[in-house]
Structure 1
Amino acid sequence: MEEILAIKHLSKSFIIHNLDKQIAALHDISLDLREGEFVGITGKSGSGKSTVFKCIYRTYAPQKGSIWYKSKKFGPVNLAELSERQMIYLRKHEIGYVSQFLSTMPRTTAQELVKQAVLEMGYEEDYAEREANIMLEHFELDRELWDCYPGTFSGGEKLRLNIARAMVKRPRLLLLDEPTASLDHTSKLKVRELIEQLKREGTTMMGIFHDLEFMENLCNREYTMRDGELLDLEV
């Protein structure tokens, strides 16, 4: 398998200006990820897990280090230095991100949100609607909610919608930040089914989990974060 992601000596700090204080979040993180792998990361809250993902997705800009990604369109690129225009393209077409929280446009229905994710990749209207419906049905989101605004949804419904919106694109690299945090057992199984399907189709994934049972027999490699450092675990 070829390498698709290579994080080299990544460090990130946050500055609290009113306290004139700097908090170190990541210390010299290095990690290689091969195509089709699923890498799981565990660790206590505040240990730096989500910060790694947000640096990959470029929500955060790292202070030090590089994040080399093998893009289908651009070839090998350093995500830490990529232009904003190129990064937006990768988010639309190649790199997916699922967080615990759903950020939506006002007056946009659940069905439109998932459908828009497919349309922005360049597909036709009919195909986008069909794929959106398949995904919403998979996650058993009540059909009465498809034409509703997600602001009224429960936490579990919002999370299922967020996962559907990211997975419907079948991205080359998918970042899963606590994708099962507020889901019931049945919904967790639905997430696992899609993760296993995406693995078979060749999607490369990194996942943050507190649910260790969910990770069993799913990950190729497993790590834990502790005080901003990445520690290797044997699977």
Structure 2
Amino acid sequence: MDIYKVGSSLSAGALALSLKLPDGKDSLIRLGGVNMGKVIYEQVADGPLRAIFRMHYPEWNFAKGYGPISLTEEISIWGGQYYYQSRIIAENMPENANLVTGFANLYGLQASEMIGKHARALYSYGLQSENKDNLGLAIIVPDQLVKAFKQTTSSEKDIKDSYLVYFQSKKQKIEPTFRFYACWQASDYRFSDSAKFNLFLNEQLKLADQPLNLSWK
């Protein structure tokens, strides 16, 4: 069954652009819709252990008065893991803009932050599945890429009821990477209560702190 309701939120690690408009107002613009221009799908790998594909958006016309952004998102999944990894390449970014990702908050659960040596997690856990049982949601991001964690409410114009991760953006080309986790109680005993889920997430954060390094002799 589909156990994760997203409504008008930023879904499960979807992308948006935070932009300060010329009138001084802040706008949060969802990736997608009629102004996307050409959309190109590229299959990179499709095997029993790993699958990778890329979505190319070469002419994202996100707002009037600005040139288009060229954005590519590479999605990777691995067998036996409870996350997917997203690697983004965005070019021609406006100076006053930041890329944003996030996940739904439709049940009023409090989000928490977990901090590792080199990575940070934003997560929520509780009765938020469509099966009326526990579901843990999390995004793990390298620490140097995080500008802020924020949230939107149901009163927002477009992207509602979401916990958000704002990426640092100090140049016109940025390449953020993050992992989105969906940890359903019925899929693994480690997600059956908050203490076990926090232990699992802490272990994942340690792995993000110490990525695998390969050397050849």
Higher helix content, 1 or 2? 1
Fold similarity call, TM over 0.5:
no
* Larger strand percent: 2
Q: TM-score, normalised by structure 1?
A: 0.25
TM, length-normalised to structure 2: 0.26
